[in-house]
């Protein structure tokens, strides 16, 4: 899923994503979520804007989608008169704009049907609409929809995110108010923070055992919990931060932080060192150990097996009054991620107001209000109530106003008639939402939460392919080659067909090695696009993933003399026998038995029981060693999981300035020089340099939050020719 706020302003230096979203989505307090000042359900928030700038700031689509319903504003002349102005009888009072756009978004948060989700975003009270926004037409994330208008005389627009019951279950992984902590969380969708439920009786020790053992001999027990604790692990910018919560015994649904957040293990290098730590601590199954370190458990159990099965994960965790070391891999401790919307982080499903009117009679919400916790927790309440913009149900939803409530006296018939006329002027025939109750998310919290999800649908991945794939071989600037031959250009359907066989495995690799950061992905994906020859499949024996030369020596690239025997490759690098050997050890591939399969040249076997091969280029110190009886290297290309995982392995294991992980570079500024550095770390030379630069700029503009209205952009790496990047979509 790729998602962003409806207003896009540049981030300030060192501004966190959460702080940025809070700034660009400033909410008008009196119309907050999920209940407004009149005690009615309110499915969205009113986002403030100012009219000081010219041109007016655009309201933008938060995700790729389809426009399913739109209405142009009636204009200022009608806005300030009844019925759009509920207070038209008062002097100098403005009303509400009635323009709107309703978008339907189909995307994915993980693998399988259960992670394919549909949600809607509604932008109400727009004073103008873009001419390109039409019912049934595709809208891309960041596309301008129109400009914000007024709501009840306030400069703001109403923004709402909702979906049906089935998709609430798909998004949150549950139907109950709180998570079931008797078992681990979902594995089809895993993103963001990792969470641990520590049951009563969990033991905390003074230190971790030597050699990453499970033995507790020689350890001192510091604390045994008498009540459940909830630990959360955040990996970002290389660091690992742990915080612990404990249920408040006085206030239902409240969880208190214990102590200060802890920076664990290698300090700011914990995440960057995952590969190195996995190779050291989980020698019998480093790849599965990497997942244990990253996710608190092994996620890809179809491909990864932890050996021994009870291998530990020792981490420092706060407890009431102190901190100690806990084996978080213990089976009694249950594991989750943000994809489970854990209730101790505030997420609760509220579905205890079952009538069809709009009056909020939820006991859960009333309890929060009584406890004084409503303002603290309302942002993460996922609430179930009727759609508030359906014209045909106005009386059903609002007739209670005439009988009054605890908060308000009964409304007179004349006033109700004015209110109903006002509501009819703003509402519309919603079709699919006319009778059903829907699940609503607080929009800011939803966007902030889902921005941690790196999983992309096939459509989204195909959108990372630019239309023009190659650049001129000389000249300054280098420009896109636009010859009609298919090798030079590609359309969206073709891009989907190229990536389809690997998109699931590619997502698994990104989730495991890159995480949800879109800037990291903007460094990583361009390299895979070039390294796989733009994901081309030449068919037959020359299938999708292959090394340069298809196993034959070629004088144009003399190095093929040394590495062509390893022609079946993954999505990034490997190439040399030494890297294949290291990857086999990382994945614990078993030794091969019998003769090797040679799919390209059966008359001249590439691998035999006695053949020797260079670990790396001999000019770089590569030495000969016998390959047999190691695994057949072709499995790195022929199995999509191995192909994609090997690219992530290379990314995480690459040594840079005596330290591992190219995420170190990807966490720096997204500049042409840093893209060039990644190019060199991946390839070691200039192969495809200008394409990689162009792909990086194109993909970065798609994945990140910069708004660009040009058809091309210029990129100027230090010491290299300027590149004019064509931004035409595939």
The stretch 562-586 carries a mean pLDDT of 89
Over 90: is that where the pLDDT of 500 sits? yes
> Percent helix, strand and coil across the chain, each rounded to 5?
30, 20, 50
What's the CATH fold of domain 17-173+345-450? Answer: Glucose Permease (Domain IIA) (2.70.70)
Q: Nearest Cα to 147, choosing from 56, 53, 26, 47?
A: 56
Name the pTM for this structure: 0.95
| pLDDT tens for each residue of 366-379 | 998 888 888 888 89
Q: What is the DSSP letter of 380?
A: G
Model pLDDT, residue 31: 64
C-alpha 263/C-alpha 272 separation (Å) is 14
| pLDDT mean over 142-170 | 95
Contacts of residue 191, Cβ cutoff 8 Å, sequence gap at least 6: 109, 110, 337, 338, 339, 452, 453, 454, 455, 511, 516
Q: Per-residue pLDDT averaged across 10-36, rounded?
A: 88
pLDDT tens figures, 198-244: 999 999 999 999 999 999 999 999 999 999 999 999 999 999 999 99
Q: How confident is the model at residue 669 (pLDDT cuts 50, 70, 90)?
A: very high
Q: Is the pLDDT of residue 29 over 90?
A: no
- Distance between CA atoms of 472 and 483, rounded to whole angstroms? 11
Q: Please tell me which residue, 222 or 265, carries the higher pLDDT value.
A: 222
pLDDT exceeds 60 at position 53: no
The tokens describing 526, both together, are 């361009």
Residue 51 banded pLDDT, cuts 50, 70, 90? low
Q: Which pLDDT score, from 0 to 100, does residue 304 have?
A: 97
Are the C-beta atoms of 263 and 228 separated by less than 8 Å?
no
pLDDT at 499: 95
Per domain, the residue ranges of the chain are 17-173+345-450, 194-340, 458-726
Angstrom distance (rounded) from CA 338 to CA 330: 20
Q: What confidence tier does 395 reach under pLDDT thresholds 50, 70, 90?
A: very high
Comparing 116-130, 432-446, 696-710, which segment has the lowest mean pLDDT?
432-446
Q: Give 377's DSSP letter.
A: H
Between CA 124 and CA 389 the distance in angstroms is 10
The tokens describing 253, both together, are 């649904």
Q: Above 80 in pLDDT, residue 601?
A: no
CA distance 212 to 470: 49
pLDDT over threshold 90, residue 114 = yes
Query: 111 vs 57, which has greater pLDDT?
Result: 111
pLDDT band at 548 (very low <50, low <70, confident <90, very high): confident
* Token duo for residue 111: 């693998």
Provide the pLDDT for residue 541. Answer: 67
Average pLDDT of every residue of the chain: 92
- 329-352 per-position pLDDT tens digit: 999 999 999 999 999 999 999 999
Q: Mean pLDDT throughout 562-583?
A: 88
The residue with greater pLDDT, 263 or 313, is 313
Q: Which residue has the higher pLDDT, 63 or 552?
A: 63
| pLDDT digit string, tens, across residues 160-178 | 999 999 999 999 999 999 9
pLDDT at 50: 64
Q: How confident is the model at residue 265 (pLDDT cuts 50, 70, 90)?
A: low
């Amino acid at each position: 899923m790729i998602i962003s706020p409806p207003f896009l302003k540049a981030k300030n230096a060192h501004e966190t994503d959460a702080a940025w979203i809070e700034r660009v989505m400033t909410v008008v307090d009196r119309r907050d979520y999920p209940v407004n000042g009149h005690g009615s359900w309110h499915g969205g928030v009113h986002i403030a804007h100012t009219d000081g700038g010219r041109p007016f700031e655009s309201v933008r689509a938060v995700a790729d989608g389809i426009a399913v319903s739109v209405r142009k504003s009636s204009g200022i002349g009608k806005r300030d008169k009844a019925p759009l102005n509920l207070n038209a009888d008062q002097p100098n009072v403005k009303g509400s704009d009635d323009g709107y756009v309703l978008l339907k978004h189909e995307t994915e948060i993980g693998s399988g049907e259960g992670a394919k989700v549909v949600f809607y975003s509604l932008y109400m009270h727009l004073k103008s609409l873009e001419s390109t926004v039409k019912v049934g037409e595709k809208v891309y994330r960041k596309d301008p929809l129109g400009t914000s208008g007024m709501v009840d005389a306030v400069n703001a627009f109403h923004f709402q995110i909702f979906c049906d019951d089935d998709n609430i279950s798909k998004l949150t992984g549950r139907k109950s108010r709180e998570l079931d902590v008797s078992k681990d969380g979902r594995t089809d969708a895993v993103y963001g923070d990792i969470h641990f439920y520590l049951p009563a009786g969990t033991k905390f020790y003074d230190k971790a055992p030597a050699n990453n053992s499970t033995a507790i001999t020689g350890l001192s027990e510091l604390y045994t919990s008498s009540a459940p604790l909830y630990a959360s692990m955040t990996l970002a910018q290389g660091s690992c931060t742990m915080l612990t919560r404990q249920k408040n015994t006085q206030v239902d649904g409240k969880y208190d932080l214990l102590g200060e957040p802890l920076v664990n293990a290698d300090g700011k290098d914990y995440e960057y060192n995952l590969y190195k730590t996995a190779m050291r601590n989980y020698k019998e199954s480093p790849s599965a150990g990497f997942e244990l370190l990253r996710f608190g458990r092994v996620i890809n159990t179809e491909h990864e097996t932890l050996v021994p099965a009870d291998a530990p994960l020792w981490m420092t965790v706060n407890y009431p009054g102190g901190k100690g070391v806990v084996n978080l891999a213990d089976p009694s401790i249950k594991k989750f991620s943000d994809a489970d919307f854990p209730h101790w982080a505030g997420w609760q499903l509220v579905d205890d107001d079952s009538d069809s009117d709009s009056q909020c009679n939820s006991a859960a919400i009333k309890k929060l209000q009584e406890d004084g916790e409503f303002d603290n927790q309302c942002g993460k309440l996922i609430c179930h109530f009727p759609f508030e913009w359906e014209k045909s149900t106005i009386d059903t939803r609002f007739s209670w106003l005439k009988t009054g409530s605890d908060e308000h006296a009964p409304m007179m018939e004349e006033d109700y008639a004015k209110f109903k006329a006002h509501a009819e002027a703003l509402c519309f025939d919603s079709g699919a939402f006319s009778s059903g109750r829907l699940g609503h998310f607080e929009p800011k919290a939803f966007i902030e939460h889902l921005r941690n999800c790196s999983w992309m649908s096939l459509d989204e991945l195909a959108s990372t392919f630019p239309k023009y794939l190659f650049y001129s071989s000389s000249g300054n600037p280098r420009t896109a080659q636009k010859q009609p031959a298919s090798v030079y250009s590609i359309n969206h359907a073709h891009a989907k067909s190229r990536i389809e066989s690997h998109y699931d495995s590619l997502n698994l690799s990104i989730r495991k090695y890159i995480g949800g950061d879109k800037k990291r992905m903007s460094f990583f994906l361009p390299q895979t696009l070039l390294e796989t020859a733009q994901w081309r499949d030449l068919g037959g024996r020359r299938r999708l993933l292959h090394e340069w030369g298809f196993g034959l020596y070629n004088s144009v690239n003399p190095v093929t003399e040394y590495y062509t025997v390893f022609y079946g490759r993954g999505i990034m690098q490997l190439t040399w026998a030494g890297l294949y050997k290291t990857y086999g050890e990382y994945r614990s591939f078993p030794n091969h038995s019998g003769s090797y399969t040679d799919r390209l040249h059966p008359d001249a076997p590439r691998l035999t029981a006695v053949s020797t091969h260079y670990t790396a280029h001999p000019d770089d110190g590569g030495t000969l060693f016998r390959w047999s009886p190691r695994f057949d290297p072709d499995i790195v290309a022929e199995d999509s999981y191995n192909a994609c995982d090997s690219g992530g392995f290379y990314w995480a294991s690459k040594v840079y300035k005596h330290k591992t992980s190219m995420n170190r570079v990807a966490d720096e500024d997204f500049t042409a020089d840093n893209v060039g550095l990644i190019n060199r770390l991946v390839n070691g030379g200039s192969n495809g340099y200008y394409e990689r630069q162009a792909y990086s700029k194109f993909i970065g503009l798609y994945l990140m939050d910069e708004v660009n209205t040009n058809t091309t952009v210029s990129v100027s790496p230090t010491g290299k020719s300027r590149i004019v990047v064509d931004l035409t979509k595939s």
